[in-house]
Structure 1
Amino acid sequence: MTLPTRDSSPDALHAAMVRRLARSGNVLTDAVAEAMAAVPRHLFLPDTPPRMAYSEQDIITKRVTADGPALSWASAPGTIATTLEQLIVLPGQNVLEVGTGTGYTTALLAHLTGMGGHVTTLDIDPDITAAARDVLTATGHTTITALTGDGRHGHPDAAPYQRIVAAGTWDIPAAWWDQLARGGRLVVPLRLRGASYSIGFAHRGDRMVSDTIEPTGLTPMISGEGERTASIHQDTLVCLVWDHDQPISSAALSGVLHRDRAVAVSGVTLGRNTPVDGIWLRLAATEAGCCRITARGPAVTSQLCTPAIPSGSPALVEEDSLAYLTLTRERYGYAHVLGAIGHGPKRHQLTDRIIAAIHAWDRDRTAAPTITLHRGTPNTTRTRIITKGENRLTITP
């Protein structure tokens, strides 16, 4: 988290945020830079100190209970800027936003569409909608319609939309397909094999094809469909998250971390803050048992389970065996070496497959796979098909 240290007035903090986003690469186009400079973020976070409002962090704005999980939050400015760059909003366009939040992103969208465009924003929580509508009205935004409703149904009265941007979801509702104009763009954080990626899709009739993929942690829509979560160790120290279409049984993995163990080292080094999402996507594209493993502090410190990222790392499951991505520190320096740890009868095969994915990723770390959503079942035998509700998804590495 970076906090400005000089002039702490809202205007100065706002200007510093815009400069920071330009240096970081989150902002690439003049249009997004101008929008970020034109809309004061602190006005949409009235209960948050301006220094925090303009810092690079997510800010929780509503919880289920006073000390419960977050129900809504304002994503960090860099995340929002990246989303806007993926969306490529043009003046005069009709835009649907699913998940209003504070209304800050709504205002940015309105700036990008201009007076000739329109933004419809939906949120399922009437309190969130009302608060956002108030601040949008107070800040003079007249080309926005803020409504309360289930975003999965979209808003057909104002369709078609040239752009749709949504909160995180596990699947793409049929309404979004129907309400997005052919050739339009959809940007959505999509849950995939336990990970979440902000994906920019181009609508091509019976397909949506990705052209940008970014790791993300945006607010999920309220829906539990599609994913399964289960502990594989007592006291929920270690858990797996997988999709409903996967041949994974938590009962078969009970006690797996105490079975025979294999450790494989790739020799591939990883610098500080280097993402491993490319490895995860390669595994998702090729492995039926690719999922997410999480480990709480006591499991990590006791060496019971040491994923590369304890809050969520890629893992492979096959029947009663498990392997996951891990890191070991080099003896000298700050770099880490990627590897895999496996347990169970097929531990060696699973760790070998993770190591192969690491090496494939290392040969071209900037390579972006293509994710394609299909309405119905695609005609292919060469690519693994991932089932998501009524949609099917394929990944081409």
Structure 2
Amino acid sequence: MNSTPTVDDLRNALVDQIVAKKPLPPRVERALRTVHREVHLPGLDPAVAYSNRAITIKENPEGPLALSCASVPSTVAMMLGQLDAQSGDRILEIGAGTGYNAALLSEIVGEDGEVTTIDIDADVTQHARDALNKAGYQHVRVMERDGLEGAPEYGPYTRMIGTVGFWDIPATLRAQLIDGGRLVLPLRWRGQTRSVVLNRQGEALYCHDMELCGFVPIVGQDGEHTLDLADSTVRLHHDQDQDVDPARLNDALTQSAAETWSDVRVGGEESFDGIWLRATAFEDTVCRLEATRAAVENGLRRPVIIGRSPALVAGGSLAYLISKRDDGDPERPSLLGAAHLGPDGADLAKRLVAHITAWGADRTATPNLAIYPAGTPDSALPAGHVIEKTDSRVVLSFA
């Protein structure tokens, strides 16, 4: 006779599923097997609480993205592994969420450590406080605070983690991290987001690992802008420093796209986000194209992923990633290429295909990434492609 699984059974089964795909540091695995996620998601069926998916805890009445959510457990585990916190660490968490991550951090740092979690939303901090109290983590500090300001009165911190998406890293946060300390956060540039591991050395932050992810953006940063095009059936997400011409792009989108193809193939489950990442290390033109089914029905050549595909955009021209079925290789049946529109579209497509080809030759390569304060002179930067942000100069390069 089958028995109903207990909460402990559900929790351990989820952790087993996570570690089967990628081993975790022992401290992180032990915390995941100890902390009760269902306490932080009251009223939810435990089977759902221990599913490997995000759970919205506060809707956003003004947009499609939630104001706050409980992150996918495998992503939580991945970022805690990146943070590599130790017993006795002083940790600042930006984005309190349900309080679950703060409870995990508290287990990891132990009685000799400290965890401070902050959030700008009073409802979110109250939810986190109540759940932490109920779960026995009354010692975790919860503060209603703008995440971009941090909590300097309880710093400096040996570790910092962001559980909301950042477009830039404020100088105020860098200043609260000890020299030699580690910062892990979802960083967004050129329309894509990576969970980056940044170690502070003096005033610079050097990346030691990056993983693809997606997070609710932090309140208060507006360096990424969105253009509604083609009667709002196409959206272009671009950074504030990029050259885009809405009127000319709308004209271009009334045309039929031409196509340029690479010789690179991908399998059905194979990730090709590395093309996007690679392009950001060489181009100031990389954006995110978001199309709708209505746009495709109206004649737009379908992007490789309809809701989030890399595009190179300059003025009134663009090229974006596309694919087509080609049975020349049954293990990798899809061929990658570029659709292009506008007077300079062919040149942009040629450049995008070059990035596809370079990625195809080394599909696991990631760029070096370093972040310096705004105002750092060029002579003090390493060789590489520089992306200018408000508080930072981001340098990307391939060795």
The answer to whether the 8 A contact 2:385-2:397 is kept is no
Corresponding residue for 2:315?
319
* 1:23 is aligned to 2:13: no
The answer to whether the 8 A contact 1:115-1:143 is kept is no
What is the 5 A alignment of 1:2-21? 7-21=4-18
Corresponding residue for 1:217?
214
Corresponding residue for 1:230?
227
The answer to whether the 8 A contact 2:327-2:333 is kept is no
Alignment coverage as a number of residue pairs? 391
Paired AA for residue 188 in structure 1: L
* 1:339 is aligned to 2:334: no
Deviation at 1:72, TM superposition (A): 0.6
Structure 1 SS opposite 2:76:
helix
The answer to whether the 8 A contact 1:97-1:122 is kept is yes
Corresponding residue for 1:354?
352
What is the 5 A alignment of 1:192-271? 192-234=189-231, 236-259=232-255, 261-271=257-267
Corresponding residue for 1:55?
51
Q: 2:109 aligns with which of 107, 113, 117?
A: 113
Corresponding residue for 1:176?
173
Structure 1 SS opposite 2:253:
helix
Deviation at 1:383, TM superposition (A): 2.5
Structure 2 SS opposite 1:102:
coil
* Range with greater deviation from structure 2 (101-110 or 311-320): 311-320
Which whole-Å deviations, capped at 9, do the CAs of 1:231-268 have from their partners, x for residues lacking one? 2211x111111111112222221221233532122121
CA distance in 1 between partners of 2:253 and 2:62 (Å): 36
Distance 1:325 1:178, change over 3 A: same
Structure 2 SS opposite 1:239:
strand
CA distance in 2 between partners of 1:281 and 1:361 (Å): 10
* 1:394 is aligned to 2:395: yes
Distance 1:381 1:76, change over 3 A: closer
Structure 1 SS opposite 2:205:
strand
Paired AA for residue 155 in structure 2: A
* TM-score after normalising by structure 2: 0.93
Deviation at 1:316, TM superposition (A): 0.4
The answer to whether the 8 A contact 1:248-1:289 is kept is no
What is the 5 A alignment of 1:155-194? 155-166=151-162, 167-194=164-191
The answer to whether the 8 A contact 1:238-1:305 is kept is no
Structure 1 SS opposite 2:148:
helix
* 1:328 is aligned to 2:329: no
* TM-score after normalising by structure 1: 0.94
* Range with greater deviation from structure 2 (296-305 or 174-183): 296-305
Structure 1 SS opposite 2:384:
coil
Deviation at 1:299, TM superposition (A): 1.8
* Range with greater deviation from structure 2 (324-333 or 163-172): 324-333
CA distance in 2 between partners of 1:40 and 1:112 (Å): 14
* 1:278 is aligned to 2:274: yes
Paired AA for residue 49 in structure 2: A
The answer to whether the 8 A contact 1:8-1:51 is kept is no
Distance 1:294 1:305, change over 3 A: farther
* Range with greater deviation from structure 2 (310-319 or 378-387): 378-387
Which whole-Å deviations, capped at 9, do the CAs of 1:139-170 have from their partners, x for residues lacking one? 11144101111011100111110110012111
The answer to whether the 8 A contact 2:89-2:113 is kept is yes
CA distance in 2 between partners of 1:59 and 1:279 (Å): 30
Corresponding residue for 1:135?
131
CA distance in 1 between partners of 2:75 and 2:206 (Å): 21
Structure 2 SS opposite 1:171:
coil
* 1:124 is aligned to 2:120: yes
Structure 2 residue runs without a partner (length 5+): none
CA distance in 2 between partners of 1:24 and 1:262 (Å): 40
Paired AA for residue 228 in structure 2: S
Structure 1 SS opposite 2:91:
strand
CA distance in 2 between partners of 1:47 and 1:219 (Å): 23
Deviation at 1:69, TM superposition (A): 4.2
CA distance in 2 between partners of 1:6 and 1:158 (Å): 48
Paired AA for residue 365 in structure 2: A
Structure 2 SS opposite 1:150:
coil
CA distance in 2 between partners of 1:181 and 1:130 (Å): 29
* Range with greater deviation from structure 2 (134-143 or 320-329): 134-143
Q: State the 4+ residue runs in structure 1 displaced beyond 4 angstroms.
A: 66-69
Structure 1 residue runs without a partner (length 5+): none
Paired AA for residue 240 in structure 1: L
CA distance in 2 between partners of 1:264 and 1:119 (Å): 52
Paired AA for residue 393 in structure 1: V
Structure 2 SS opposite 1:229:
strand
Structure 1 SS opposite 2:371:
strand
